């Protein structure tokens, strides 16, 4: 059985991390893989996408990471996607960094907690906030792979050096087995020339690690979370559904 933990990370905001996390985790669950989506972003966008009454959540990832008596198992929720489980986040997660300040194991909290239920899932997908702070570092330390979504726009490669440097540091200090699963080109606008130029540049910089599948801009992908659905039930024949399905085949072949 696979025990693959994939962290979706890019400190740039709005590049499709959450859209990718929610749709690949749904696709994996639909394919019959035991799948857990872990939301560590204080914005809680993944949680809100798949939970009917998120305001009623009492215990979330923040409590699990800061209270040794609470395990991840205690806070797992079912989602609106059949078969998909979720570790929910809330705005309280924004306090994590100050709460754990000075704690010697602050970078290992998520890894330690995930260890306890890793055996039960074939895929664990972690959605992170747009920062390279303590939360994202916890997600990198806990992961076997990183998936990096990049939006092919002007300046989109700005900051990737910092991201790659951070991944390298995590590898050297805390998680030597960490690998880059792939770079995903998202939010591609077929109508612009700049988009095409940047895609070529991304392929030049990253080489074969770039996924063959490119996610284009599609209103359906933007709409589906509002209906608490993945793209596969909301608009099964849309370009977004087809592209994310193809992406998941590539992911399964790599990890």
- The residues in 49-78 that bind ligand ATP, with binding defined as CB under 6 A, are none
C-beta of residue 64 within 8 angstroms of C-beta of residue 72: yes
C-beta of residue 87 within 8 angstroms of C-beta of residue 39: yes
Q: Measured from the CB atom, is 36 or 235 closer to ligand ATP?
A: 235
Q: Measured from the CB atom, is 34 or 46 closer to ligand ATP?
A: 46
Under rule CB under 5 A, residue 18 binds Mg ion: yes
Under rule CB under 6 A, residue 35 binds ligand ATP: no
Q: Measured from the CB atom, is 4 or 43 closer to ligand ATP?
A: 43
Q: Look at residues 25, 63, 23, 48 and name the one whose alpha carbon lies nearest to residue 243.
A: 23
> Considering only 17-25, 97-105, 141-149, 152-160, which stretch makes contact with Mg ion by CB under 5 A?
17-25
C-beta of residue 145 within 8 angstroms of C-beta of residue 178: yes
- The residues in 123-182 that bind ligand ATP, with binding defined as CB under 6 A, are 130
Q: Record the tokens describing residue 71, joined without a space.
A: 């395990």
Cα torsion angle, 152, 166, 176, 33, sign: negative
Please tell me the count of residues contacting Mg ion according to CB under 5 A. 3
Distance CA 151, CA 154 (A): 9
Q: How far is the CB of 104 from ligand ATP (least distance, A)?
A: 29
User: 17: helix, coil or strand?
Assistant: helix
User: Which residue ranges make up the site for Mg ion (CB under 5 A)?
Assistant: 17-18, 45
User: Which residue ranges make up the site for ligand ATP (CB under 6 A)?
Assistant: 13-19, 41, 43, 45, 130, 186-187, 215, 217-218, 221-222, 240
């Amino acid at each position: 059985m696979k025990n693959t933990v994939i962290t979706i990370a890019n400190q740039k905001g709005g590049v499709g991390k959450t859209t990718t996390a929610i749709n690949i985790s749904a696709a994996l669950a639909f394919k019959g893989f035991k799948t857990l989506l872990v939301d560590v972003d204080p914005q809680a966008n993944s949680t809100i996408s798949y939970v009917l009454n998120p305001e009623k959540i009492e215990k979330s990832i923040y409590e699990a990471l800061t209270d040794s008596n609470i395990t991840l198992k205690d806070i797992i929720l079912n989602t609106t996607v059949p078969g998909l489980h979720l570790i929910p986040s809330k705005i309280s997660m924004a306090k994590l960094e100050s709460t754990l300040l000075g704690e010697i194991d602050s970078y290992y909290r998520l890894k330690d907690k995930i260890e306890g239920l890793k055996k039960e899932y074939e895929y664990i997908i972690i959605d992170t906030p747009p920062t390279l702070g303590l939360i994202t570092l916890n997600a990198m330390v806990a992961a076997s792979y990183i998936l990096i979504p990049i939006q092919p726009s002007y300046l989109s490669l700005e900051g990737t050096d910092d991201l790659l440097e951070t991944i390298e540091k995590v590898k050297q200090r805390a998680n030597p087995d960490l690998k880059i699963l792939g770079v995903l080109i998202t939010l591609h606008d077929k109508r612009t020339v700049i988009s095409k130029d940047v895609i070529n540049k991304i392929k030049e910089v990253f080489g074969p690690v770039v996924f063959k599948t490119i996610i284009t801009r599609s209103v359906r992908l933007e709409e589906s979370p509002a209906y608490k659905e993945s793209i596969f039930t909301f608009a099964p024949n849309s370009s977004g559904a087809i592209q994310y399905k193809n992406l998941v085949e590539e992911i399964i072949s790599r990890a």
